[in-house]
Structure 1
């Protein structure tokens, strides 16, 4: 009969967490399964092969308590698999036990369904949703050690354990909520397809959206960024230009700048739809915007800015690579200026709103989308704005610069 043991392997690097794994031995053949769980050596009882009674502060204490329960559940499940295989009277291997543990049913579980769903979304061209679900699933998969989750296991207890796991790793409440809302969306799709019944597994975890601290810089810092001589650093110079273009256009988001096309600029008005909400916006074309556009050769593309450069390559991949490069260079630029906050393209958006507000421009005129509690409020304000007053406000800010 196969035996199941819980083992701990310490990290080769001092002060790093080690890994827990399950060892299955049958007919002198050993198979190991990575649990995906991590511990410090001081938290593991070698003699009893169990977690030591936690003597630490929250949230680490809560994490260890939850982890102890999860290990016991996994070990019990492995032993049930062994018992069922023994009951059949047929020969089996340690590998058979591991395989049944990792793929608990022929129809698959939550992780299998989620991966299949992501593939379907990509085929339908819904790349943004697929990317979001992939990010969420990667986090949840790390928590589970990529071990399949049966539909019966998808309950409120598991979600509470996952939330505790996220807290123990310093994940902020808004990010934790982002993961939970993504998992909930995937789970609800499974319910709709009658893969499982609705058990409301997310009813005890946080799925709200809290206010975030605005990342804004004053006008003098924007001016410093604009006036820096970066001729010897073309990549940083490009990042600065994208940052300034965002500021000039009332805090346009990076993805919206990436997909701007030359045809969007007509008769001195730049019109575009926000990728995030579909809201159509109009921006009066100003001299500093034109100076940035003139600086770069985009003759070979349909796009206004040199972010998506190759018309034969995947546009979204180019946008994402450019976003990573720009934000990396902006971060270095911010460090060079001694800023107390990380400089990103998003800072231009908050910066415009903050500066406009400080100049007593009416809140209804400002794209206070950046400060409202919900997207619904944002749409109400944007829908009711007088475009001319917005352009006038933008002109005031650019003149002050």
Structure 2
């Protein structure tokens, strides 16, 4: 019965026919049954994740066409997988880092001692800065064309200290407490508390919804549809001076907030706190509350600066 389960699992994973006789014997041998494969550990690892992070790891697993035993993964295997990806360098790097994280996960659980990344370098290209000038940010804010809902969505993200698009679109009305948006970021599970300034509230009021904070998500069937729509619209927006920014995406809101904050001498620690980056240690709730006040003041300064 156990052998039947193993064979069925291998067939469902699409790897049964690709196994050599020796590999199949290894799977079926009682002495080797506890041995883990890359895909089996991927599945276990993915079950510990949620939201976009879970989807990213799942995407990497789907690109793995074979299913080597953890002990059999070599630098040669890593290089062959890397070369099989018809993607940009930095996108390839994401998949390789995902595999590395899964192997580290396996090592921590003593599934293997094999660490092939010791001799494999993950290449990456320098990321282009994704921030708008203050002038272009004002042009997006003041845009009045047919893409207005998308420009409002972008600016609302900026006003809320670069809140991630999926978190903004799925935020509930009940998430607002005492004038603050309280939410947990889907990607990281980290809690955020952002004061809703009058400028942000004006946009929220413009797009009312019975359940959601704003009704942007109702424009499309699902989140992915809206994401494609807004990233297309942002690139198409133009005013009397022409196209505002040909490569504008929702990511620019977060980067632009950080760049403006740095430009008006808000300290790096406060910027890190505002963006949810980890630094130092938090030892008391008093310290956390102190930082929230500083973040509120920083956001107010940024919004005042662009007016």
TM-score (norm 1): 0.57
Shift of 1:100: 6.6
**CA displacement 1:186-206 (0-9 Å, x = unmatched):** 345556777x64321222223
Aligned to 2:102: 186
Higher CA-based Rg:
1
3-state SS in 1 of match to 2:301: helix
* Number of aligned positions between the proteins: 276
Q: Check if 1:388 corresponds to 2:305.
A: no
Q: CA deviation at 1:224?
A: 0.5
Structure holding more helix per residue: 2
- Counterparts of residues 271-310 of structure 1 (less than 5 Å): 271-299=182-210, 301=211, 303-309=212-218
Structure richer in strand, relative to its length: 1
Q: Give ranges in structure 2 of 5+ residues lacking alignment.
A: 1-14, 29-35
- Give the whole-Å Cα distance in 2 for the aligned partners of 1:267 and 1:275: 22
**Residues 112-137 of structure 1 deviation map (CA, whole Å, 9 limit, x = unaligned):** 5367548x83xx88454541222212
Quote the Cα distance in structure 1 between the aligned partners of 2:166 and 2:106: 31
Q: By how many angstroms is 1:345 displaced?
A: 0.9
Q: Please, what is the CA RMSD of the aligned residues?
A: 3.9
Query: 1:49 — aligned with what?
Result: none
Distance in 2, matches of 1:117 and 1:157, equals 25
Instruction: Tell me if the contact between 1:353 and 1:368 (Cα under 8 Å) persists in the aligned partners.
Output: no
The superposition leaves residues 326-362 of structure 1 with CA deviations (integer Å, 9 ceiling, x where unpaired) of 2232233379953566111110111111112222233
CA contact (8 A) 2:60 2:95 kept: yes
Partner of 2:162: 251
> 2:40 matched to 1:113?
yes
Distance 1:389 1:148 in 2: 50
Deviation at 1:322, TM superposition (A): 2.5
SS at match of 1:203: helix
**Which of the residues 257, 271, 278 maps onto 1:366?**
271
Q: Within 2, Cα distance between the matches of 1:332 and 1:131?
A: 28
Q: How many Å separate the matches in 1 of 2:109 and 2:291?
A: 45
Among 127, 135, 142, the residue aligned to 1:212: 127
Structure 1 contact 307–318 (Cα < 8 Å) conserved: no
> Per the alignment, do residues 182 and 365 of structure 1 end up closer, same or farther by CA in structure 2, a change over 3 Å counting?
closer
Q: In 1, distance between residues paired with 2:258 and 2:54?
A: 31
**Which runs of structure 2 are paired with 1:1-400 in the superposition (5 Å)?**
102-104=18-20, 105-106=23-24, 107=27, 110=37, 113=40, 117=44, 121=47, 126-139=50-63, 141=64, 146-149=65-68, 153-165=72-84, 169=86, 171-172=88-89, 174-188=90-104, 197-207=112-122, 212-230=127-145, 233=146, 236-299=147-210, 301=211, 303-309=212-218, 318-333=222-237, 337-339=242-244, 342-367=247-272, 375-377=277-279, 383=288, 386-399=291-304, 400=306
Cα separation, 1, equivalents of 2:43 and 2:291 = 46
Change (3 A) 1:160 1:250: same
| Distance in 1 of aligned mates of 2:50 and 2:236 | 33
Of the two structures, which has the highest relative contact order with CA contacts closer than 8 Å and spacing of 6 or more? Answer: 2
> 1:190-245: per-residue Cα shift (whole Å, max 9, x none)?
56777x64321222223588863321011111111111112xx3xx3222111010
Say if 1:177 and 1:208, in contact at 8 Å, map to a contact too. yes
How far apart are residue 273 of structure 1 and its match?
3.0
